[in-house]
Structure 1
Amino acid sequence: MATMVLTMAGGLIGGPLGAAIGGLIGNAVDHAILPAGKRREGPRLSDLKVQTSSYGTQLPSLFGTMRVAGSVIWATDLVEHRDSRSGGKGQPGSTTYSYTASLAVALSARPILGVGRIWADGQLLRGSAGDFKARTGFRLYLGGEDQPADPLIAAAEGIGLAPAHRGIAYAVFEDLELGPWGNRIPSLTFEVQADSGPVAAGDIAVALGAVAASGPTLALAGFAAQGTSLAAVAELLAEAAGGWFGPGPTLLCGPGDAIVIQDEGAGGRGRANRSVAPATRAPRALTLSHYDPARDYQIGVRRAAAPGAGLSEARIELPAAMDAGTARTLAEAALLRADIERTRRSVHVGWEALAIPPGARVRIAGTPGIWRVDGWKLEAMTISLDCVALAPAVRPIAASGGRVNHAPDTAIGRTILHAFELPPVDDGVAAVPRLAVAAAGDAAGWRRAALLLSTDDGAAWRPSGGTRGIAVLGDIRIPPGSAPPQIDDRRNWTEVALAHAAMQLDQADATALDQGANLAMLGDELIQFAHAQSLGGGRWRLSGLWRGRHGTERAIGTQRSGDRFVLLDADALTLIDLPRTALGTEVRLLAEGAGDTGGPAEARAPVRGISLLPLAPVHLAAQPLPDGDVHLRWARRGRHDSRWRDGADVAPEPGGERYRIMLKPAAGPAWTVDMLAPGMRLGTAIDASGLEIEVRQVTAAGLSPAATLTLPIRGEEA
């Protein structure tokens, strides 16, 4: 109707050009204001939530800040990583497999400013601080017309074959760790900042080329322009703002400056027509769905209802980000407009009304309110304006979006790494030197890190899988001092600071300690502790100590402030078997987690053989015999079956016992002798005065540390 009438008026006034202009304006009015046939399909909210990888998928043009899934535009096959681990406790080793993938995701068909949070299957992959919760390389292209091709894509596809996707904002993930998502590529969504701050609906329409200009309109926190046509997007913006298309075309919204006109039909010179459509023509309820930034951009639905007859319900799906209060205000305003706009007025005016364009605001003299010119009519050389009543502005209405469980945004932190040779603590027998790796982060969100090992001082590095779990670790603040290893140390205590406050330590009774509870590496000494007292701020005081466990008695009292503290938990330690050639060297280890943007953590560990070699003999003593000889005796300690059980001997040594005794006289050369039993007779021919004695156990793995004894010089015996 409006198209036909305005085309006629335009032709009368401006010839063919005027007719064309009138037709364009009338078409806009028809589709934006009047109920017509099937409307164009604009973007739907669900479109932005589902990640696609299909050819021909439309990309949204983003404004403000929005959460979108985007479209996968490039991806590699999954890359398999193999991780072999030692079994421990005499069990066979295991091999596990992990996977990574690289991919590129297009986000917006217009340039953006940046990306905030990133979700993977609803969980945060990138936090609000820009920290990634899983290991990945990440590059963002903002959609500039001069952006280069991504180097990873170019390397995979070939130089000159990789598009730069200029004008399109996209993100590239390189070697994204897939373990947290079941070794598959998760569904990704992105919080995209396309503009700084909210954007007016009219400015969006102008930026898209849908209109030439705009008056003041509703400010949206974000908007995704996507649909079957530009007109569909323009219609949706007008509907959201409660606006219409004026001359230019210009997007106008709500009451404003109005032209005062006289109704010449009044007073007998014509007739004034006023009509009110039945109430059933207007919806009695209206729902508006939107994205709520306060709820991590989940879809929110606001419903407005009015009393009266009628059962119809209108629905607006708005791919825009706004708070709950703004959405409720829009819903109430849209419902009010639908009711007010049932009132129409036909006003007869003079030829001067030709200067009043369709869409203009007018005041009719003697009639309250503001009206919008919906169309012209020229009948019998009389001009009449079809006017629609404008609803008054709706005051802002407060609303709550409801409670939402946000995805945890826990800081990952940097990796803290400790590596040390570990004696067998599980009664097993090691065949090669064994390195223990303990890692955690300085924040509670840390999960794992990839490992690289070098046995040649960094000349070459080889992948060694990833860390096994999250260790409880920290550093010594107050060392425990010296104590004998044979009895409980009830005099000394030590104070340690854990890596972060979320780490905890537990108590253990004597039975639990006997079963191996609360075993920790304190510097180079293995200790157990019965009592753990929290001092606040991540600091703990440990007492009730068992010292020098599993053959580390030589490290008792060697600790210094700042040395490592690591609670030995089989589920948190990564064990790496080293070649025998590593004995006597120092190995280096690198660990890189998701939070190690400044570079990997490094640890060094000397390999002395304590994980492989037998323990030093104990109870070395010399007993004078009646015939003047001296009898040396000692006791063997076994690596396995090491618990102290009354009435039970140390388990036999596989392959039998063998010892190497070195005798160092006070004068003369030293000499050695091998024995097959824990004892030796020194004849009278040997000058035992001031004799230094070293006894080592001999096994296929090598020599144990020495048990030492120096005999008194004659005349100094007590």
Structure 2
Amino acid sequence: MATLVLTAVGGLFGPVGAAIGAIAGQAIDRGVLFKPAAREGPRLTELAVQTSSYGTAIPKLFGTMRVAGSVIWATDLIEHRSKEGGGKGQPSTIGYSYTASFAVALSGRAILGVGRIWADGKLLRGAAGDFKTRTGFRLHLGGEDQGADPLIAAAEGIATAPAHRGIAYAVFEDMELGDFGNRIPSLTFEVMADAAPVAAGAIVAAAAAGTVAGADAVIALDGFAASGSARAVAEILAEAAGGWFAADGGALALRAGAAGDAVTLEDEGAHAGGGAMLRGERAIAAADSAPRVLALAYHDPARDYQAGIQRAERPGAGSREARIELPAAITAAAARQVAEAMLARAELDRERRTLSLGPGAMAVPPGARVRIAGEPGVWRVDRSTIEAMVVKLECVRIAPAAVAAEASGGRALPAPDLVAGTTLLHAFELPPLGETPAEVPQLAVAAAGSAAGWRGAALLLSTDGGARWEAAGPAALPAVLGTIAVPPGPAPAALADRANALEVALAHGGMTLADADAAALHAGANLAMAGGELIQFASAEPLGGARWRLSGLWRGRRGTEAAIGTQMAGDGFAMISAEALAVLPLSLSTIGATAMLTAQGPGDSEPASAEAPVTGLSVVPPSPVHLRFGPGTEGTELRWVRRSRAGWRWIDGADSPLGEESERYRVTIAPEGGEARVIETGVPAAAVTDAERESPCLVTVRQIGTHGVSAPASILLPPLGES
């Protein structure tokens, strides 16, 4: 810094006194901008660690910067209780989740907005503005006219809630904490305070509140966090920019570089003992007075503003190393250039030239650029001393402009930033997929997002037409789902369908399907709900984008053959897997009702919804098969083969277990033009009289299960005498 020293100026008055007064008025001392006992400037670690201590300094942000901020208001954790399960024969599970509301101060001056937000190092908000965890987020930009946040006002009272005018802050309302160990995570924010990089001089002028009026420091910073005293901010920026402070009228100015007006001075010499004149005083400090290696710590925007270090090293003697922490966001190349320029200036500062001049030199203030007759380059006046009518100017050579440098910030491993999109929801009653029969209806919920970053959603369920809703827990892992583009058409369920194909449009291009061989299909691979039909496929052919053609079909799996051929374009498609399905047990009383579901994830402005009829598909036996007829003792004997909700895989070749409390069937015999007859039987057979066969006769068979009757199986008997 430039200083002025006045010693032994006796008997001076008039014009000389006026000159001294002018110089004193322009002097840069430590009484205005540079007060003693100033707080150190911010260290890089301070910008990365979130605080909540009372009295913590809030930095003034410039450009674009990543900061942690300070928690300035918070509620206690709020506990949410949910009950899952509890159907017939099943224990219920009580789940607990937690949310919190809090506010974080970001900047001591107004900002333009907030970009990405990190929570415990993971992205909470992506570059597209999407949140990865559901929360109510509001941003207050720090204007002098901003009002109190409505949540804080409701909690503290509108008369006592602070508006925090002039402070930019973010409010999180009921932020879900399950992803963060049920605690408020450590947050960092990408804050945009200015629309473009900001010159160091402009930052100094703003931080000094008008004390510094002008600047010609050309270094531009992508972002800067000004914290502490104005002196601390000015010193670190002047050092980084290679600048110094000089008087400019009644204010200060930040100067940098050799460009600009420079007066040429010739050393006039000073009287020594005996009347001799001394000229050309020069001092060169020891080599270790300047560092041999300088490390500059900074924030690298290319690495999500993580701290980086660039090192500069000079040849020659010396062993001292220096470290400078610059709380600014700059590129690796710019940081390398700054480090090399700072090291070069430190080496030049070892040489000091003192000029001995007459009283007229009092007009040359500290901080002025000068040329010295007979010396190359441009110098700056670092110190001015007046003693015995001799003005001594101590000068330091100004370093030439730094050459652009190339540098690498190291390998960047940014947090994944996948857009979640909106929630997509499919719901359907699911036949039992295991070997144990279900005791209550099973509602399957498959959910995913319209983009690959979807992580989950909270479910609400109603089985009474929307009159009452209850929490149904979270959705499962993202499912592979979409819609039917081209339906597969009708086909028998007992044979592999090699004639038809199913085309589906998946939710986004990140979803994929795969082939499966016969062994994998027998083990249950590639099972999907297409419309109301459970279907398996052997081959999955990508058609471009998110569209796929599925062939080698196994149709009507697990008793869903009644839905074969009923699909339409636009019907839902969802792959079946234990990890990607949330299975909600319902009460038996819901059979015949419609289950209504909503799901809301972080990316949803409105919840997604779906409906599914509860038919009892998961608790009633499948319909009988292989209906056939022939002569009997009492007319025509009709026989069939029962199926079971248990023992689907039929491993040992023996008859499958009954799976119901008893074996019962309901048979409806309806001759054309006659009255229908309904009988119940405990064996897989029934008799049709000759009279009932005088005209075509439709026979329908349903198995009576513990919790309801199966879907019908039908056969049309021709009149007697017709084949």
AA aligned to 1:631 is E
Deviations 1:667-714 (A, max 9, x none): 454342322222233456766643333222223312222222333235
**Residue 239 of structure 1: aligned partner:** 239
**Residue 675 of structure 1: aligned partner:** 681
TM-score, length of structure 1 as denominator length: 0.92
Structure 2: distance between partners of 1:687 and 1:408: 71
Q: Structure 2 vs 1, CA of residues 535 and 154 (structure 1 numbering), >3 Å: closer, same or farther? A: same
Cα deviation, residue 255, structure 1 = 1.3
Cα deviation, residue 644, structure 1 = 3.5
Q: Structure 2 vs 1, CA of residues 548 and 270 (structure 1 numbering), >3 Å: closer, same or farther? A: same
- Does residue 1:418 correspond to 2:426, yes or no? yes
AA aligned to 2:98 is Y
- Does residue 1:476 correspond to 2:484, yes or no? yes
Question: Could you tell me which of 636, 640, 643 is aligned with 2:642?
Answer: 636
Deviations 1:54-83 (A, max 9, x none): 111111111111111111112233333445
AA aligned to 2:517 is D
Q: Which moved more, 1:566-575 or 1:474-483?
A: 474-483
Paired residues of 1:6 and 1:22 also in contact (CA < 8 A): no
TM-score, length of structure 2 as denominator length: 0.91
**Residue 453 of structure 1: aligned partner:** 461
Structure 2: distance between partners of 1:237 and 1:463: 55
Paired residues of 1:660 and 1:675 also in contact (CA < 8 A): yes
Cα deviation, residue 223, structure 1 = 0.9
Secondary structure of 1:327's aligned partner: helix
Cα deviation, residue 439, structure 1 = 0.8
AA aligned to 1:255 is A
**Residue 266 of structure 2: aligned partner:** 262
Q: Which moved more, 1:188-197 or 1:120-129?
A: 120-129
Secondary structure of 1:335's aligned partner: helix
Structure 1: distance between partners of 2:399 and 2:422: 58
Secondary structure of 2:30's aligned partner: helix
Where do 5+ consecutive residues of structure 2 fail to align?
none
**Residue 57 of structure 1: aligned partner:** 56
Secondary structure of 1:129's aligned partner: coil
Structure 2: distance between partners of 1:206 and 1:602: 55
Paired residues of 1:495 and 1:542 also in contact (CA < 8 A): yes
Q: Structure 2 vs 1, CA of residues 325 and 677 (structure 1 numbering), >3 Å: closer, same or farther? A: same
Q: Structure 2 vs 1, CA of residues 575 and 17 (structure 1 numbering), >3 Å: closer, same or farther? A: farther
AA aligned to 1:278 is A
What is the alpha-carbon root mean square deviation over aligned residues?
Answer: 3.0
Deviations 1:188-223 (A, max 9, x none): 111111111111111111111263222211211111
**Residue 252 of structure 1: aligned partner:** 255
Q: Which moved more, 1:522-531 or 1:262-271?
A: 262-271
AA aligned to 1:27 is R
- Does residue 1:221 correspond to 2:222, yes or no? yes
**Residue 450 of structure 2: aligned partner:** 442
**Residue 198 of structure 1: aligned partner:** 197
Paired residues of 2:534 and 2:557 also in contact (CA < 8 A): yes
Secondary structure of 2:494's aligned partner: coil
Cα deviation, residue 654, structure 1 = 3.2
AA aligned to 1:355 is A
Q: Which moved more, 1:161-170 or 1:109-118?
A: 161-170
Structure 1: distance between partners of 2:438 and 2:60: 62
Q: Which moved more, 1:520-529 or 1:351-360?
A: 351-360
Paired residues of 1:358 and 1:374 also in contact (CA < 8 A): yes
**Residue 607 of structure 1: aligned partner:** 614
**Residue 361 of structure 2: aligned partner:** 353
- Does residue 1:27 correspond to 2:30, yes or no? yes
Structure 1: distance between partners of 2:355 and 2:257: 21
Question: Could you tell me which of 298, 301, 309 is aligned with 1:293?
Answer: 301
- Does residue 1:432 correspond to 2:440, yes or no? yes
Paired residues of 1:7 and 1:22 also in contact (CA < 8 A): no
Question: Could you tell me which of 547, 561, 574 is aligned with 1:553?
Answer: 561
Q: Which moved more, 1:487-496 or 1:439-448?
A: 487-496
Secondary structure of 1:664's aligned partner: strand
Structure 2: distance between partners of 1:485 and 1:90: 33
Q: Which moved more, 1:271-280 or 1:431-440?
A: 271-280
Cα deviation, residue 30, structure 1 = 12
> After the TM superposition, which residues 268-283 of structure 1 pair with which residues of structure 2 at under 5 Å, given as runs?
270-280=277-287, 281-283=289-291
Q: Structure 2 vs 1, CA of residues 88 and 368 (structure 1 numbering), >3 Å: closer, same or farther? A: farther
Paired residues of 2:7 and 2:386 also in contact (CA < 8 A): no
Structure 1: distance between partners of 2:196 and 2:278: 51
AA aligned to 1:25 is I
Secondary structure of 2:5's aligned partner: helix
Secondary structure of 1:5's aligned partner: strand
Structure 1: distance between partners of 2:132 and 2:33: 51
Paired residues of 2:690 and 2:720 also in contact (CA < 8 A): no
Between the two proteins, the alignment pairs up a number of residues equal to 710
Where do 5+ consecutive residues of structure 1 fail to align?
none
Paired residues of 1:692 and 1:708 also in contact (CA < 8 A): yes
Cα deviation, residue 559, structure 1 = 1.6
Paired residues of 2:661 and 2:706 also in contact (CA < 8 A): no
Q: Which moved more, 1:7-16 or 1:263-272?
A: 7-16
**Residue 527 of structure 1: aligned partner:** 535
Q: Structure 2 vs 1, CA of residues 19 and 354 (structure 1 numbering), >3 Å: closer, same or farther? A: closer
Deviations 1:476-502 (A, max 9, x none): 222222111112222222222222222
Cα deviation, residue 40, structure 1 = 5.2
Deviations 1:596-655 (A, max 9, x none): 23x2222121222212222222233333335x5332322221111122346311213432
**Residue 659 of structure 1: aligned partner:** 665
Structure 2: distance between partners of 1:714 and 1:311: 114
Identity among equivalent pairs (%):
58
Q: Structure 2 vs 1, CA of residues 7 and 472 (structure 1 numbering), >3 Å: closer, same or farther? A: farther
Cα deviation, residue 25, structure 1 = 1.7
Structure 2: distance between partners of 1:647 and 1:87: 36
Paired residues of 1:59 and 1:226 also in contact (CA < 8 A): yes
Question: Could you tell me which of 370, 376, 381 is aligned with 2:389?
Answer: 381
**Residue 495 of structure 1: aligned partner:** 503
AA aligned to 1:260 is T
Structure 2: distance between partners of 1:513 and 1:243: 74
**Residue 416 of structure 2: aligned partner:** 408
Cα deviation, residue 7, structure 1 = 8.4
Structure 2: distance between partners of 1:264 and 1:481: 106
Paired residues of 1:3 and 1:27 also in contact (CA < 8 A): no
Structure 1: distance between partners of 2:659 and 2:58: 73
Paired residues of 1:178 and 1:184 also in contact (CA < 8 A): yes
